[in-house]
Amino acid sequence: MKFAYSFGGNLYDGGMGYIASWGLDEIVRRGLIAKAFNIYSRRKGERPEWMKNHAALALFYRTVEKTARRLGYTLPPDFADIVLFRLFDKVVSWRLPDVDSIYCWHSMALETMRMARHRGIGTVLENPCAHRKVWDQTVQEELDLLGLSGRATSPSVLERDIAEYDQADRIVVPSLIAKQSFIDCGVEEERLVHLPYGVDTARFFPPEKRDDDVFRVLFVGEVGVRKGPLYLLKAWDKLNLHNAELRLIGPVRDEFRMVAGKLLHRPDIKAEGFDPKSERWYRRSDILVLPSIEEGFGMVVTEAMASGMPVVVSENVGASDVVADGKNGYVFPVRDVDAIAEKIETLYRDHELRREMGRQALNTARANRWDTYSSGVVDALSAVARKG
């Protein structure tokens, strides 16, 4: 058997590119790769013959984006989906080799999978969040609740993403929450593959010794509407903890600054922006809070657990699958400011509870291995491979 892999981003980079690299590496290790398509690869060493980069597409996209902004156009948040991903998808559909099955990523594979199915090639689609219809409804509800204008998803993007699902023989999801969203939208359960994301314990691990005694609450991710940091800020505003700080690691969206207002300006709140070496903050923090409105998985949860920290997450966080409430962390109702404040204060005041929960969290993280995910990717491709 031979497989193709398609990811319209930067492989071996952060975020989705990091996840994609684990599955692709397993395909390569087993000698099953025919061609891998991506925008750009940060893979070390000489680029292998089977890897096809499309950096020119990213250059074209950035040129269009800069020109539009210079002319005063307001671009939708999913502009990359509309321009870059569609271009990439079209190019891959033209260059699709003769393989047994192809692994694609959501929002960037409609034409590719249509071509594959036309040629009898098996199709697997990775969807790292809830069903797009559920995702759109959930995020739109939050935008409306906060009085923010605009659409969560452009209508054309929503239509294409949902159309992708019909072209996939298998749909890979990272959590039971995400899986249930597909079932609720009428997708047959036998087409769904549940593959939780792993954690790199060589990168994320507990410190031998802390370099300060500050009680530090950590949030890692985009500081915007979807991940719910507003509710964390409101909870923190209810507390007055001595020798404590809230540290936000991630880019702060402009619309969030408008909504958060003065809540962001307390001296015990540090908004650091993006940090490519976020692991250093895991090792200098006591708990992680992820109050997301929508979160297909949330790798920051298992990264924090691998660093020996208890986690406090909303019920809408996919990684709540691995959180045993009251043992290695807490799960609270979405948007429940009082519950967030209560859990933070409990862990602040009970050092022994915090330490024991941290030990339990570490044990959980060590069982969440990337090789389980990687093998699952190959298994899904093998299951839909064309016969004969």
Q: How many CA atoms lie within 13 A of 94 on its CB side?
A: 6
Asked if residue 387 has pLDDT above 70, the reply is: no
> In the chain, pLDDT over 70 holds for what percent of residues?
99
Write out pLDDT tens, residues 341-365.
999 999 999 999 999 999 999 999 9
d(CA 46, CA 363): 37
- Using left for φ > 0, alpha for ψ between -120 and 50, and beta otherwise, residue 62 falls in alpha
Q: Find the range with the poorest average confidence among 6-20, 133-147, 373-387.
A: 6-20
Write out pLDDT tens, residues 267-276.
999 988 888 7
Task: Give the domains, in start order, of the chain with CATH numbers.
Answer: 3-198+370-384 (3.40.50.2000), 215-366 (3.40.50.2000)
User: Where does the pLDDT of residue 299 fall: very low under 50, low under 70, confident under 90, or very high at 90 and above?
Assistant: very high
Write out pLDDT tens, residues 73-104.
777 777 777 778 889 999 999 999 999 999 99
Which of 261, 262, 239, 230 lies closest to 248, judged by CA? 230
User: Where does the pLDDT of residue 69 fall: very low under 50, low under 70, confident under 90, or very high at 90 and above?
Assistant: confident
Asked if residue 154 has pLDDT above 90, the reply is: no
Q: 3 in helix, strand or coil?
A: strand
pTM for the model stands at 0.93
Computed over every residue of the chain, the mean pLDDT equals 93
Write out pLDDT tens, residues 231-251.
999 999 999 899 999 999 999
Token readout for 53 is 């980069």
Predicted pLDDT at 54: 85
Which of 223, 225, 315, 312 lies closest to 269, judged by CA? 223
Q: 223 in helix, strand or coil?
A: strand
When pLDDT is averaged across residues 57-61 and rounded to a whole number, the result is: 81
Predicted pLDDT at 60: 82
272 compared with 6, residue with greater pLDDT:
6
Asked if residue 31 has pLDDT above 60, the reply is: yes
